[in-house]
Amino acid sequence: MSSLRAYIITRFLMVIPTVIILLTLVFLILRIIPGDPITSMVGQKVPEEVLERLRHEAGLDKPYHIQYIEYLTGVFTGNLGKSMIWGKRPVIAEIMDHFPATLELTIFGFVLSVLLGIITGSIAAFRRGSKTDSGMRIYSIIAYTLFIPWFGMLLQMLFGVYLELLPIGGRITPGNSPETITGLYVLDSILTLNLTSLMDALSHLALPSLTLGIVLSGAYTRLVRNNLIDVLSQDFIRAYRARGVRERKVIFHAMKNAFIPVVTLMGLQFAILLAGAVLTESTFSWPGMGTFLIERIEYRDYTAVQGAIVFYAMFVALISLVVDVIYALLDPRIRY
């Protein structure tokens, strides 16, 4: 077990340089892009002294190395600067307003995609060569190539407009929001035992998370199928059976072995998941980070965009750390 701890600590320490490189890249890219962010935000017709004042407020009149150090210390103390439009609220506060919505959608979409992938992939593997198998493989290819806004709209038409079963946009019916504890409506509804808001939140989540889940499940279906077929033909599976281990347990061991590459894919898919979430959010008017980011890009709210990207980058780094730890917990060959 101590070697597992050593692995986790090493892996954790490796996050630090990764994050610093990411932050540096974001910093450089935003300064290499031609044009002055302030000018592009307010336009060139504005008097020079107003531009100066805005630049000073954003700290953009300082030398680059000072900006860089301030930016890094800011990020590590949770200060991403102030938004440049409207209330000029701290960017971190605005992110925190939108992040729970994205997190909720991502969790549901992610869990759904993995579940769908594992179920369809295992069915295909256990019925290898049959019509069901071909069906699952076609599903995987179609799901993989679906375009999120198009597929989302299709679901909206079917379940929202035609069957009138589910809401087609938004996160909750106004007035139904649960008391805020975590900002995740489903969790908050459960914590406050509010059944009305729970059902309302779930019905709003259904279509966007289904869209995201189905589109992302295609890759898992394929991977689970191929892995499971490979594992099931291995000697140690036959050896389990030859020792009289119950079939249910044999299948469990097979699934566990087939799951390892799936965990790797989860880490890789995570960035795609966030990108997919941006598209899904705009299709379903979901008030999350994607909607926030797109809105602020339109207004050229430079600090908010920078803050959102930094936040995304840190989030991806954190998730890949978590995935690697899960990987090590599953596979002893990694941690020794």
Binding residues for other proteins (CB under 8 A): 234-236, 238-247, 249, 253, 256-257, 260, 330-333, 336
Q: Least distance in Å: CB of 246 to other proteins?
A: 6
Q: Is 90 in a helix, a strand, or coil?
A: strand
Q: Which is nearer to other proteins, 6 or 165 (CB)?
A: 6
For residue 56, give both structure tokens. Answer: 């000073």
Q: Which is nearer to other proteins, 65 or 333 (CB)?
A: 333
Q: Least distance in Å: CB of 243 to other proteins?
A: 4
Look-up of token digits 């966007």: 208
Q: Are 195 and 189 in contact (CB under 8 A)?
A: yes
- If you write DSSP's letter for every residue of 60-81 in order, what string do you get? TTS-HHHHHHHHHHHHHTT---
Report angle CA 142, 148, 150 to the nearest 5 degrees. 90
Q: Least distance in Å: CB of 111 to other proteins?
A: 23
Q: Which is nearer to other proteins, 56 or 256 (CB)?
A: 256
Q: What is the spatial distance between Cα 166 and Cα 210, in angstroms, rounded to a whole number?
A: 12
Residue 181: DSSP 8-state: S
Q: What is the spatial distance between Cα 115 and Cα 112, in angstroms, rounded to a whole number?
A: 5
Q: What is the spatial distance between Cα 212 and Cα 104, in angstroms, rounded to a whole number?
A: 12
Q: Which is nearer to other proteins, 31 or 241 (CB)?
A: 241
Q: Which is nearer to other proteins, 2 or 145 (CB)?
A: 2
Q: Least distance in Å: CB of 253 to other proteins?
A: 6
Q: Which is nearer to other proteins, 147 or 236 (CB)?
A: 236
Q: Least distance in Å: CB of 240 to other proteins?
A: 7
Q: What is the spatial distance between Cα 188 and Cα 57, in angstroms, rounded to a whole number?
A: 38
Residue 143: DSSP 8-state: H
Q: Least distance in Å: CB of 228 to other proteins?
A: 14
